[in-house]
């Protein structure tokens, strides 16, 4: 029996390699599709994008010292701002019960984003709950940044979900991928860490007692540097805020939300007539600013004529906004 020709052996090896390659490819595709299928079953994680990739992306993290990660697309910078839990408790006592804030810090989630939004005077809509809660310091922040900017992150987003040590988040997979796309290749030089626990002042709480709380005005000036939206600034729309919530303090917080992203607030007024739902009123909803502000206030856009006399955009603050942040 003659020996098998060399070319025949090479052909067989080539076929075998091709079969192995096809097998590996199919296996990987199956794993990815299976992961995506599981992801799609989690509606709150795979829902439509909430981020337009132009505005800043702010995330509250339930670290022991409550922290906020903010990514600004224009500068490509990431700011990590931390407060002490005590500062947040005292600030919360002005508008909401201490036990509610305490519970939010333990569980993470919407209550934490609302408490930090109120403290900084900016809208923070995203949160991350850590599996192993720890103190946030510069080294920990850098590690989280490097891990997320890794080339393997998209595969984790598509399959297992998110990075290690994250147990719960309301960030959709779509937005996580969009954020990674802007992060990829970034160095830790773009990361700015700041402990703002020292920004405190004497305040009067809901029991009419003088306590040490957060200096919201100073904190807002610092955080606004990372929240400014170039599209809003360039449109330069005049914005009027009318408070129909029944809570005087709601108007001030709403104005801070708008000013922090670069909105030009020309007037803040109170209305004797209360309404339940907040709304953004414009003459034409073609405005990016109007759509973005509606997203900030989680409300609808209503078209109305002849708004030039009172501003090109009017935000009517309803009781839904006041109850969210002050009850």
One domain, residues 249 and 178: no
71 within a domain of the structure (yes/no): yes
One domain, residues 297 and 210: no
- Write down the pLDDT at residue 306: 67
pLDDT by 10s per residue, the chain, length 327: 455 555 555 555 565 566 555 555 545 555 544 544 444 444 444 457 889 999 999 999 988 888 999 999 988 889 999 988 766 655 443 444 334 444 444 444 567 888 899 889 999 999 988 888 889 999 999 998 988 888 888 888 877 666 667 878 888 888 998 999 888 877 888 899 999 988 877 766 556 666 667 788 899 999 999 999 999 999 999 999 999 999 999 999 999 999 999 999 999 999 989 999 999 999 877 789 999 999 999 999 998 876 655 568 999 999 999 998 887
- Write down the pLDDT at residue 304: 80
One domain, residues 198 and 256: no
In angstroms, what is the C-alpha Rg of the chain?
Answer: 25
Concatenating the DSSP letter of every residue in 257-315 gives: HHHHTT-EEEEEEE-SS--SS-EEEES-TT-HHHHHHHHHTT-EEEE-S--GGG-SEEE
What is the model's pTM? Answer: 0.79
Q: Which domain holds residue 237?
A: 230-326
One domain, residues 259 and 204: no
| Alpha-carbon span 217 to 175, nearest angstrom | 30
* β-strands 200-204, 126-130 pairing: unpaired
One domain, residues 167 and 194: yes
- Write down the pLDDT at residue 165: 74
One domain, residues 200 and 236: no
Domain boundary among 183, 214, 245: 214
- Write down the pLDDT at residue 263: 96
- Write down the pLDDT at residue 25: 54
Torsion from C-alpha of 296, 300, 306, 312, nearest 10 degrees = 10
One domain, residues 242 and 103: no
237 within a domain of the structure (yes/no): yes
For residues 84 and 238, is the Cβ–Cβ distance under 8 A? no
One domain, residues 84 and 140: yes
* CATH code assigned at 151: 3.40.630.190
One domain, residues 185 and 247: no
One domain, residues 209 and 322: no
| Alpha-carbon span 318 to 142, nearest angstrom | 40
One domain, residues 210 and 239: no
270 within a domain of the structure (yes/no): yes
């Amino acid at each position: 029996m003659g020996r098998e020709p060399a070319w025949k052996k090479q052909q067989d090896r080539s076929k075998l390699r091709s079969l192995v390659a096809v097998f590996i490819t199919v296996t990987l595709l199956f794993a990815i599709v299976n992961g995506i299928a599981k992801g799609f079953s989690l509606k709150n994680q795979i829902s439509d994008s909430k981020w337009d990739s132009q505005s800043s992306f702010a995330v509250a993290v339930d670290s022991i010292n409550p922290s906020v990660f903010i990514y600004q697309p224009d500068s490509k910078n990431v700011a990590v701002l931390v407060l002490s839990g005590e500062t947040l408790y005292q600030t919360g006592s002005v508008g909401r019960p201490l036990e509610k804030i305490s519970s939010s810090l333990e569980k993470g989630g919407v209550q934490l984003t609302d408490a930090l939004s109120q403290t900084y005077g900016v809208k923070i809509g995203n949160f991350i709950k850590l599996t192993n809660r720890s103190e946030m310091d510069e080294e920990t922040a850098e590690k989280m940044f490097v891990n997320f900017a890794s080339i393997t992150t998209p595969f984790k987003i598509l399959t297992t979900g998110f990075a290690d040590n994250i147990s719960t988040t309301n960030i959709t997979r779509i937005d996580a991928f969009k954020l990674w796309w802007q992060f990829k290749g970034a160095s830790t030089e773009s990361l700015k860490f700041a402990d703002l626990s020292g920004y405190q002042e004497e305040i009067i709480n809901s029991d009419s007692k003088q306590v040490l709380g957060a200096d919201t005005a100073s904190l807002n000036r610092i955080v606004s540097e990372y929240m400014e939206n170039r599209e809003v600034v360039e449109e330069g729309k005049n914005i009027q805020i009318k408070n129909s919530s029944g809570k005087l303090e709601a108007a001030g917080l709403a104005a801070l939300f708008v000013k922090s992203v670069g909105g030009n607030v020309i007037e803040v007024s109170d209305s004797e007539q209360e309404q339940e739902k907040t709304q953004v009123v414009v003459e034409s909803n073609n405005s990016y600013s109007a759509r973005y502000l509606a997203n900030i206030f989680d409300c609808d856009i209503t078209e109305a004529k002849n708004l030039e006399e009172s501003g090109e955009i009017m935000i009517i603050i309803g009781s839904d906004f006041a109850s969210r942040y002050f009850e």
